[in-house]
Amino acid sequence: MGEPERDPYTGRMTTGHEWNGINELATPVPKLVLIFLALTFISSLIIWILAPAWPSVNNYTKGILGIDQRTTLENSLEKADAITTPWRNEINSKEFTEILNNDDLMKTVRQHGARLFADNCAMCHGTDATGGYGYPSLVDDQWLWGGDPATIMETLRIGVNSGHSESRISQMMAYGRDGILTLDQRRTVGSYILSLTQGTNADDAKLKAGSEIFMQQCQSCHGSDGRGMRSVGAPNLTDDFWIYGGDPVAIDQTLREGRQGVMPFWDDRLSLADRKALTLYVLDLAETRK
């Protein structure tokens, strides 16, 4: 190691280190880099003071600006709400017929209704609301509980066999399992109800016997003409729409095991405006399918 000396080419001092005749210049860190380092440090100090920064065991330093991602999120949700609230307010404040006759509002209903339906209802009632095995079609004009807007909205609010304190109760009893009717009696009444829709080749005596069982066991819910009763959600047995199938095997199973369809309640899961929009959406779908 030699003495530091001035380098004749650059005019800078050397460090005195020397390798095989090559001297090391004492080049200082450029000022600009030092300034940046200082600025970085100062700005992190400022941010530590202003914004949430240092975690502790079960808390963190909050910073004097009170910035909070949760409040930021809430604010942006509020903004989104402000965009959608006008239609919700309008739908809340207007009568069903008024909305149905208002093309602009119905456009909104179709748009938001389709989204709400896809998110909440389609998994059971099908994407086109035509239902499927165990789930009634909502667009066939055959209503278990009633198809006027107020009734549909109430079905949405409280559900069916849903566990809601005001839930609608749908009870088709298990005539076989519970030993109320023998297999023979179930077949007899089964062929009677099929005769209501399809005509039949069963003999008169059998039909008469079936009709007697029907009057004793079934008419209190399905009506003496078999057309159902909305107060108990009993379906019309004289049309071509079957929730659980209308062939002898399916009817046999219905009579043997009973049926208790469950429709969830939406009381606390969808707002009033959303339930109203869905009601209108379903009615609109049914109308366009006619």
> Rule CB under 6 A: which residues touch ligand HEC?
120-121, 123-125, 135-136, 138, 143-145, 152, 155-156, 160, 170-173, 175, 189, 193, 217-218, 220-222, 232-235, 237, 242-244, 251, 254-255, 259-264, 266, 278, 282
What is the spatial distance between Cα 238 and Cα 70, in angstroms, rounded to a whole number?
57
Distances (CA, A) of 32 to 27, 28, 37, 109: 14, 11, 9, 61
Supply the minimum distance, in Å, between the C-beta of residue 177 and ligand HEC: 13
Inter-residue contact 196 to 226 (CB < 8 Å): yes
What is the spatial distance between Cα 124 and Cα 136, in angstroms, rounded to a whole number?
9
Supply the minimum distance, in Å, between the C-beta of residue 43 and ligand HEC: 51
Neighbouring CB atoms inside 10 A of 14's CB total 18
What does the angle CA 202 – CA 206 – CA 211 come to, to the nearest 5 degrees? 110
Q: Which is nearer to ligand HEC, 87 or 266 (CB)?
A: 266
Q: Which is nearer to ligand HEC, 91 or 156 (CB)?
A: 156
Supply the minimum distance, in Å, between the C-beta of residue 118 and ligand HEC: 10
What is the spatial distance between Cα 43 and Cα 38, in angstroms, rounded to a whole number?
9
What is the spatial distance between Cα 141 and Cα 122, in angstroms, rounded to a whole number?
18
Tokens of 18: 């020397």
Supply the minimum distance, in Å, between the C-beta of residue 269 and ligand HEC: 8
Q: Which is nearer to ligand HEC, 243 or 273 (CB)?
A: 243
Supply the minimum distance, in Å, between the C-beta of residue 142 and ligand HEC: 7
Q: Which is nearer to ligand HEC, 87 or 186 (CB)?
A: 186
Q: Which is nearer to ligand HEC, 50 or 123 (CB)?
A: 123
